[in-house]
Chains A and B, each alone.
Chain A
Amino acid sequence: MRRRLALLAATGLLAGCGTDASGDDGNGPSGTLTVFAAASLTDVFTELGDQLEDENAGLEVRFNFAGSSALATQITQSAPVDVFASADEPQMQVVVDAGLADRPEVFAANVLEIAVPRGNPGGVTGLADLGRDELAVALCAPEVPCGSAAEQVLASAGITAAPDTLDEDVRAALTKVELGEVDAALVYASDVATAGGEVEGIPVPDAEEALNVYPVCVLADAPNPAAAQAFVELLRSDRGREALADAGFREP
């Protein structure tokens, strides 16, 4: 109930999402497939969506990428959605608790990594450097998944970080690294993998302590269940797993 309050931020994005999906034409899915997915999945899902469109003439895949909690709110405010992929289990649980989906499957996992600007100007070698006062450090805010994961990793390593900013999402922290405005940030390994040449990653020992898992589900009221199922199957196939691995995700 409480979470429904978050309708504040929600519905604007949805105008224009067609629901003229038909689904079964005998040979393969067609119509429109609407996928709501966590922002960190942007690159890999877009690629998989293109593949699915190429293989099924008459199928159009539409994505809405945003923070998982915003997406969960939009779905509970009855946005017409076929597939929901969340960056953490609590946000998927919001949708399950609302009776809109059941049996979500975990399809990928992500660990934290230290991201530093190219050339590593701060000379960062490990988690302990995040406590150095003279470095500019970005962490995610504890309210968002990457921030609570960061708290766990730092706590289990016994390190008190000295962050200069607690960012609202992982991409905001990464942007500050890309611009060279911070010397280090704790972000997901997949973000480092897709960031390109401006960012270097330093693996964190014991990062598995705070493994972040990604569940996906087909919504109970999916306007196009056939296409939704096809997308989830692609995600779970060898091809899908390979694409996820290339994008820096781990096997769950």
Chain B
Amino acid sequence: MSRPREGTGVPLPLVVPAALAVAFLVLPVIGLLVRTPWSSLGEQLTAPGVGEALRLSLVSATAATGASLLLGVPLAWVLARSRIRGRSVLRALVTVPLVLPPVVGGVALFLVLGRQGIVGSWLDDAFGITIPFTTTAVVIAETFVAMPFLVISVEGALRAADARFEDVAATLGADRWTTFRTVTLPLVAPGIAAGAVLCWARALGEFGATITFAGNFPGTTQTMPLAVYLALQRDPEAAVVLSLVLLGVSLATLLLLRDRWLRGAAS
């Protein structure tokens, strides 16, 4: 989204708080880097379980983002464009996972999808399916916590998008589903992408709901944030290294994707 500009053109009253914001957000990361035990880095990285936890984190965060896109984009459309009653109540409900402490979210998931849960006990009786303590549970917990970020972003993009394009499509005879696919979606694609990134990042860092609902078991449910937390109990150095790995991988992924989008947008 680069546009031609004249000079840097940033007014001074914005520069100072913006610089403070950067310092506030970046200094803790620098703190981590300073304390990193570089000499034992290789040893920490190749410790058993690190690769496994990283792989599990990436796979489950990506799956959670996929599920959020599939369910969240239609929900955002409903919130932004439909005229159903109680839309504001619906919007407030959607943001509940943002406010709920994630550990409580995990308990809430138990009450619905756990062995004794409303839906979970039926799944168990009818199909012999139990969800807690499985990788599926990790994806569900992450989706629960992260999807609202996507929904809010996409809804914002939909509201900002010019609805007249959709009106024109409608007057030209397109039904609402066709309009959604061929006009609305391309129009808000950048918003969806931004929301998906936010959602993925939140899912990747998810801790509370995951450790509660999915538990912590290496190879099945132990994602990087869980590994970091437990390492912190015994060996803070290892925790710092693990955090850096997670940080590095997520930054690299986001930069790579961003590159692709920018190139895509330019061509």
Residues of chain A having any CB pair with chain B under 8 Å = 2-3, 5-6, 8-9, 67, 69, 136, 138, 141, 143-144, 163-168, 172, 175-176, 179-181
> A136-B133, A167-B211, A168-B211 given as contacts; is B107 within 8 A of A5 (CB)?
no
Chain B residue contacts of A3, Cβ below 8 A: 236
23 A-B pairs with C-beta separation under 8 A = A5-B239, A5-B240, A6-B232, A6-B239, A9-B232, A69-B232, A136-B115, A136-B130, A141-B216, A143-B233, A144-B233, A164-B133, A164-B217, A165-B133, A166-B216, A166-B217, A166-B230, A168-B229, A168-B230, A179-B110, A179-B114, A179-B116, A181-B114
Q: Which residue of the partner chain, among A6, A143, A166, A175, contacts B212 with CB atoms under 8 Å?
A: A175
The reply to whether the CB of B198 lies closer than 8 angstroms to some CB of chain A is no
Chain A residue contacts of B72, Cβ below 8 A: none
Chain A residue contacts of B105, Cβ below 8 A: none
> A136-B133, A179-B110 given as contacts; is B230 within 8 A of A143 (CB)?
yes
CA distance A144 to B226 in the complex (A): 13
**Count class of interface residues, chain B:** 20 to 34
The reply to whether the CB of B83 lies closer than 8 angstroms to some CB of chain A is no
Do most interface residues of chain A lie in helix, strand or loop, or is the interface mixed? mixed
Chain A residue contacts of B132, Cβ below 8 A: 136, 164, 181
Chain A residue contacts of B130, Cβ below 8 A: 136
User: Are A172 and B211 in contact (CB-based, < 8 A)?
Assistant: yes
Chain B residue contacts of A168, Cβ below 8 A: 211, 216, 226, 229-230, 233
The reply to whether the CB of B135 lies closer than 8 angstroms to some CB of chain A is no
> A136-B115, A179-B111, A180-B116 given as contacts; is B215 within 8 A of A165 (CB)?
yes
Interface 1/0 per residue, B205-222 and A, CB below 8 Å: 000000110111110010
